[in-house]
Amino acid sequence: MARKRAKADATGTPVTTVVVMCLYVAGRAPNSVKAIANLEAICRSHLKDGYKLEVVDVCEHPRRALADGVIVTPSLTKVSPGPTSNVIGNLSDTNSVLAALGLGAGVAA
Amino acid sequence: MTTRKSVTPRLLSKMATGIQGFDEISRGGLPRNRTSLVMGGPGTGKTVFALQALVNAARKCRQPGIFVAFEEGVGEIFANAATFGWALPALAKSTLFFLDARLSPTVVQSGDFELTGMLAILEAKKRELGAGWIVFDGIDVLLALLQNPGAAVREIYRVRNWLMHSNLTAIITAKTDGGTSGPTNYDFMQFMVDCVVRFDRRLEQGVSVRRLEITKYRGSDFAPGEFPLSFGPHGMDVAAPGMAEILPEASAERVPSGFAGLDSMLGGGVFRGSSTLITGAPGTSKTTLAGQFAQSACRRGERTLFVSFDEGGERIQRNLTSVGIHLGPHVKSGLLRLYSGRTDVHNPEEHLIRITSLLQEHRPSCMVIDPLSAIARTGALSSARAIGNRLIYKMRDHRVTAIVTALVDGDDPQAEATELQISTIADTWIHLSYLVRGGERNRALTVVKSRGTRHSNQVRELVLSAAGPALADVYSSGGEVLMGTLRWEKEAEEKAQKRQRHAEFTHKRRELQFSEADITARIAALQLDLDKQRAELALYTPDDEARHVSSDERANELRKMRNEDAAVAIVPGKRRAARTSARSRTNGEKEPRLGP
């Protein structure tokens, strides 16, 4: 279930850092499915290919979730760059997700 | 799910919480493998209740458990519970699992979420530990983040469904906003769960009173009503009403009260397991009597509990020493336990709970509460009355021989009847009073009642000295009892009278002895006289008669010659003879002379 996407910037856009994220979902639960779709959309439009996303199914890896301090699903953790930040919910509010990922300035444009 | 083959409904199985009193009122604890809701305002004891149930299961039954903390951090929970001595950090390493389910304050919310992930974690942990208990503490904190109420309901049902399938006995705590209604916006939770326990805290005359009530228990009987709870040294205690029926057994054994005088008034002492009420105005030596009772119990080797209100154990010991009662050695040996409570800090229920736990801890056979009336000082009088009654029944349930003192205003023992109303349930009632007469205040003791005993109706004087208290016999004078100096005077007077009587007696006896000696002496003298008389009589033998006659005849002849009348001449002669004989008796040495 865990998918990894990491592509180097081929287009030459000024993305200097790769955003590393981890999305914790609960199987095929409606909000989890929505979260995956929402995040993929955000990444496509705002991060191009400069990101690395790991999707963890908590139902299959509860120990991992426990170790990472996950309580609710879906839950998104930005691992790097900068300080870690967390977003809970189905990520339907794009602005807050971007803000949490440190991409708030890009949204306004 | 396995299908049940048996058609007959099984009795509801319960899990004991180990919380003193709660298991009693819930008739065995919380429903096994079901969900119970614990709700209440802030600071009412919800978390402690849930945690204590978990800890007790882990410690007593070695049953692992899970605690999900939504509100407080695990470190905070450990710190808060540190006073109870549960050793949570050690338990957390072995049988208990604490999940810190707080969301970081920096967390950003974007849209709807579910608790599925958390339940997956808990499921894994439950299997790993083999947990039987689970606590969701403050789940409302997390649910409040869900934007629409429908989502919260959905998540609660999600939790409930998981609980139903996971064979866990669960406690969910939720806040209410002070009122008696259900958890804020989560009324449905009360319908969903199998058992609802409501916690409440309110002020009663300036004293904070915590209470607990079971408002719902599916498939089970429970004690209705609110029950006071308090936090003791080992956690929460709930004041359960105790046994509904009074124990039928009654001991005929007499327990000495410590006063020979009082024991004789009571026909040998108080009954084992009975409760004795001592009432009196301030300073009438209620504590002294109680202390004497405690000391004599300890001397017999009986475990004793001395509960004092508003006065420290040390002070009581010191004060009692002045009247010759020494409790110190018994405290050191562990036979005597002193407990002093402040009535301005705790409410009556808390004292009841503390005393109950002391009864179970120390297991005394004799007990003193001095003064019980102090519990009426704070809180509502009606509740103080109920507490007083409960205490006495509790002591009776534990078969403790108890002396309870109560302060009454004035000298009228009936004043107690309006105060705590314990005189009606006490087995023996002793009233201490002052009798003021002759410029003195003296302590008087009366046995007002004593069940099953032909007790003395006499008022006795209580005399205190460094040698210890004692009961003095009293003198009745003109229908009134004499005490103090009057008694002493009366005693002195009686002694003087006795001395006088003795002197009089001796005097009379001596007089009689003298008289006796006198008579004996006189008898001896008379005897001598008699002997002399006899000796003299012996002289007048018949041989001498002729001589006497001849001389008589000669005298007659002489008279004839002088022509005298014989009859006249003889009489004075005889008289003279009689007179002469009397004179000879006193003189003794002269020979009787007859005739010239």
Residues of A in contact with B121 (CB under 8 A): 58, 62, 65-66, 70
Name the least confident of B110-124, B191-205, B372-386: B372-386
Q: Suggest the residue from B119, B121, B141, B159 to mutate for an interface test with chain A (most A CBs closer than 10 A).
A: B121
More confident residue, B350 or B499: B499
pLDDT of residue B520: 95
Q: How many Å apart are CA B290 and CA B317, to the nearest integer?
A: 12
pLDDT by residue (tens digit) across B475-508? 666 666 677 777 778 778 888 999 999 999 999 9
- CA dist list (Å): B86 to B136, B237, B317, B344, B388: 19, 15, 33, 29, 31
Facing B113 at nearest CB: one of A69, A72, A93: A72
Q: Which residues, other chains included, contact B63 with Cβ-Cβ below 8 Å and sequence gap of 6+? A: B57, B95, B131, B132, B133
For B319-346, the pLDDT digits (tens) are 888 888 888 899 999 889 888 877 666 6
Contacts of B503 (CB under 8 A, 6+ apart): none
List, for residues B17-52, the tens digit of each pLDDT value. Answer: 888 788 888 888 898 888 899 988 888 888 889 999
The residue among B163, B218, B180 whose CA lies nearest residue B172 is B163
Q: Cα B294–B255–B274 angle (5° rounding)?
A: 90
- Minimal Cα–Cα distance from A12 to chain B, Å? 31
What b/e readout covers A44-82, taking b as 16+ CB neighbours within 10 angstroms?
Answer: eebbebbbbbbbbbbbebbebbbebbbbbbbbbbbeeee
φ and ψ of A7, to 5 deg = -125, 135
**Cis peptide, bond prior to residue A81, ω within 30 of zero:** yes
Q: Which pLDDT tens digit goes with each residue over B564-577?
A: 665 554 555 455 55
The SS3 assignment for B397 reads helix
Whether B239 contacts B356, CB under 8 Å: yes
Give the pLDDT score at B3: 47
Candidates B99, B109, B114; nearest CB to A73? B114
Query: Of the candidates A65, A88, A90, which has its C-beta nearest B103's C-beta?
Result: A88
Q: Taking 50 as the threshold, does the pLDDT of residue B182 lie above it?
A: no
- Range B361-398 burial, b when 16+ CB lie within 10 A, else e: ebebbbbbbbbbbbbbbbbeeebbbbbbebbbbbbbeb
Chain A CA closest to residue B122: A62
* Percent of chain B residues past pLDDT 90, beyond the cut: 11
What is the pLDDT, as a whole number, of residue B345? 65
The better pLDDT of the pair A26, B393 is held by: A26
* A82 shares contact with chain B (CB less than 8 Å): no
- What pLDDT sits at residue B206? 64
> What are the DSSP calls for B203-262, one per residue?
EETTEEEEEEEEEEETT-----SEEEEEEETTEEEE-----SSPP------EE--S-HHH
Residues of A in contact with B111 (CB under 8 A): 31, 34-35, 38, 89-93
Q: Quick one: pLDDT at residue B382? A: 67
Indicate the pairing of strand B65-69 with strand B35-40: unpaired
Domain boundaries, chain A: 4-100
Asked if A90 lies within 8 A of B113 by C-beta distance, the reply is yes
Note whether B292 and B469 are within 8 A (CB): yes
Task: Please report the residues numbered 20 through 79 in chain A whose beta carbons come closer than 8 angstroms to any beta carbon of chain B.
Answer: 24-27, 29, 31-32, 34-35, 38, 58-59, 62-63, 65-66, 69-75
Can you identify the CATH homologous superfamily of domain A4-100? Glutaredoxin (3.40.30.10)
Looking at per-residue pLDDT, the higher value among B9 and B210 belongs to B210
Which chain A residues have a beta carbon less than 8 Å from that of B109? 87-89, 93, 96
CA angle B384, B389, B391 (to 5 degrees): 90
Q: How many CB atoms lie within 10 A of CB B53?
A: 28
pTM of the predicted model as reported, rounded to 2 decimal places: 0.61
State the pLDDT at residue B505: 94
* pLDDT bucket at B411, cuts 50 / 70 / 90: low
Considering only the beta carbons, identify the residue of A71, A85, A87 that sits closest to B118: A71
Q: Summarize pLDDT for B131-174 with one digit per residue, the tens.
A: 889 999 988 888 877 777 778 888 888 888 888 888 889 999 88
Residues of chain B contacting residue A59, judged by C-beta atoms under 8 Å apart: 116-117, 120
Task: Give exposure, B335-347, as e/b (b: 16+ Cβ within 10 Å).
Answer: bbbbbbbebeebb
How far CA B588 is from CA of B245, B529, B532, B591, B596, in Å, comes to 107, 9, 9, 8, 20
| Residue with the larger pLDDT of the pair B565 and B522 | B522
Cα angle B120, B129, A65 (rounded to 5 degrees) comes to 30
B69 to chain A: nearest residue by CA?
A71
Say how many C-beta atoms besides its own lie within 10 A of residue B198's C-beta. 23
Within B300-432, where are the H helices? 313-321, 328-333, 348-362, 381-397, 415-418
Q: CA B126, B130, B132, B137 torsion: positive or negative? A: negative
B117 and A35 within 8 Å at the Cβ level: the answer is: no
Confidence grade of residue B509 (pLDDT, cut at 50, 70, 90): very high
State the ipTM, two decimals: 0.80
Nearest chain B Cα distance for residue A13, angstroms? 28
Q: pLDDT digits over B534-549, tens only?
A: 998 888 876 666 666 6
CA torsion, ordered B458, B459, B465, B469, to nearest 10 deg: 60
- The one-letter code for the residue type at B108 is V
DSSP H or E run through B88: helix B88-94
